């Protein structure tokens, strides 16, 4: 134990008084605000989540840990903790209540899955001093910001005021992008459209059909496939009779997509003869990549590619170089950079706010809103958050299955 003599105490008091005098009578304690980072740090997404956390900390360090007059701290929340290491409703709800319990926490970035965000947003929307802002860098489900399923999006905002925003496109834009790509890059004229009867698949297929009409593509038929069916060859009979040159599959590969793709090729021919397009519900499945019938198929994916971002000079290239120097590897996904983009939006809102939850939320959803210029944005393209919470940066990339991998072959801003 270190002791201080009585003679020393007066000297310490005098020194403290001198410091206070130097600071001036108007000096005030620094205001600290916290941003919660709510991600699955275990399980399949742990590498991306860990890289996202590290990238956010690196960026915050680079801007001096500040947003205007506020000192900013990040707080880590795991929505997939042991022992199961997967997210569930209970964990997402528990985290949401923990966000509310931290008085100086003013916003959340997360939650990686739209389903988890749908649990958290209504809780955060009724926060004391709220509504509390949640900005996502990965959620693509349209229902959080626009009409999709029954009651959406109003069901997520019980206060009557929106408090959810995102920095990437929604799933319905995939159907739009696929139709434009099919028309302008593949030159197709007649398409057959299937969906898997689920909300995601039906919505993406609807968007494809609507945009196909605008692009001069004739949709010769619209059908549905069901997961429990043994095969689907009969579904493609009308498409063969109509001599289509394109098939769009709105849905997910888990719904017996392997058999569906096999039967498409068996009835209509390979994917060079009759083009096959699908949304990101078919993205990233190793079984699909090695399926001979899938060769040449096109899959849409929300967001820019890592290669596209890395090729942009200025902030994107410099930040990636700094990340590589600090952590000795490249980010595991472009979603890591979208996480930093979400942080840029939140920091801009904090800087212009009074430091309260309501104040931070208001800077996003009330005029003039939040915009990040291209020369400051970590993704290298300008971004504006609309009053709905959606972004105008609706980037969709197109990937083709070739030799067991997906290769980026195009990108559209829709």
Is the alpha carbon torsion for 103, 128, 134, 95 positive or negative?
positive
Question: What is the reported pLDDT for 84?
Answer: 79
Domain presence at residue 2: no
Rounded to whole angstroms, the Cα distance separating 41 from 217 reads 44
Rounded to whole angstroms, the Cα distance separating 163 from 216 reads 38
Rounded to whole angstroms, the Cα distance separating 89 from 118 reads 9
Domain presence at residue 325: yes
Question: What is the reported pLDDT for 9?
Answer: 31
Is the alpha carbon torsion for 281, 121, 393, 333 positive or negative?
negative
Domain presence at residue 22: no
Domain presence at residue 11: no
Question: What is the reported pLDDT for 29?
Answer: 66
Domain presence at residue 14: no
Instruction: Say yes or no: 313 and 176 in one domain.
Output: no
Angle at 330 (CA atoms; ends 326, 331), nearest 5 degrees: 100
**Tokens for 116?**
């988890």
Instruction: Say yes or no: 145 and 249 in one domain.
Output: no
- Count how many domains the chain has: 2
Rounded to whole angstroms, the Cα distance separating 9 from 17 reads 12
Query: Which residues of the chain register pLDDT less than 50?
Result: 1-27
Rounded to whole angstroms, the Cα distance separating 239 from 314 reads 49
CATH number at residue 146: 3.40.50.2300
| Prediction pTM value | 0.90
Rounded to whole angstroms, the Cα distance separating 396 from 169 reads 8
Question: What is the reported pLDDT for 12?
Answer: 32
């Amino acid at each position: 134990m270190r002791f201080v003599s009585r003679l020393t105490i007066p000297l310490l008091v005098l020194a403290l008084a001198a410091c206070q005098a130097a600071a001036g009578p108007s000096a005030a304690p620094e205001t600290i605000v916290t941003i919660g980072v709510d991600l699955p740090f275990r399980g399949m997404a742990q590498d991306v989540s860990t890289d996202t956390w590290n990238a956010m900390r690196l960026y915050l360090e680079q801007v001096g840990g500040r947003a205007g007059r506020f000192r900013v701290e990040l707080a880590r929340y795991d929505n997939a903790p042991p022992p199961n290491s997967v997210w569930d409703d209970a964990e997402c709800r528990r985290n949401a209540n923990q966000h509310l319990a931290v008085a100086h926490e003013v916003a959340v970035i997360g939650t990686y899955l739209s389903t988890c965000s749908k649990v958290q947003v209504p809780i955060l929307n009724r926060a004391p001093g709220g509504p509390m802002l949640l900005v996502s860098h990965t959620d693509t489900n349209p229902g959080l910001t626009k009409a999709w399923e029954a009651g959406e999006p109003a069901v997520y905002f019980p206060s009557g005021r929106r408090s959810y925003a995102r920095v990437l496109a929604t799933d319905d834009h995939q159907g739009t992008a696929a139709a434009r790509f099919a028309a302008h890059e593949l030159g197709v004229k007649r398409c057959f459209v299937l969906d898997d009867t689920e909300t995601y698949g039906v919505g993406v297929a609807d968007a494809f059909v609507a945009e196909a009409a605008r692009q001069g593509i004739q949709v010769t038929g619209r059908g549905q496939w069901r997961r429990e069916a043994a095969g689907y060859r009969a579904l493609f009979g009308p498409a063969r009779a109509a001599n289509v040159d394109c098939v769009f599959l709105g849905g997910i590969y888990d719904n017996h997509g392997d058999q569906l793709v096999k039967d498409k090729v068996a009835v209509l021919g390979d994917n060079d003869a009759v083009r096959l397009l699908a949304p990101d519900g078919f993205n990233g499945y190793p079984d699909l990549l090695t399926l001979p019938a899938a060769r040449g198929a096109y899959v849409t994916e929300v967001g820019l590619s890592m290669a596209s971002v890395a090729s942009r000079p200025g902030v994107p290239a410099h930040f990636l170089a700094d990340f590589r120097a600090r952590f000795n590897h490249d980010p595991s996904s472009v979603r890591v950079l979208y996480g930093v983009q979400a942080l840029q939006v939140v920091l801009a809102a904090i800087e212009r706010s009074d430091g309260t939850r309501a104040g931070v939320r208001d800077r996003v959803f009330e005029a003039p809103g939040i915009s990040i210029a291209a020369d400051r944005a970590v993704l290298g393209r300008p971004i504006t958050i609309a009053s709905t919470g959606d972004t105008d940066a609706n980037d969709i990339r197109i990937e083709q299955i070739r030799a067991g991998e997906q290769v980026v072959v195009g990108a559209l801003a829709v």
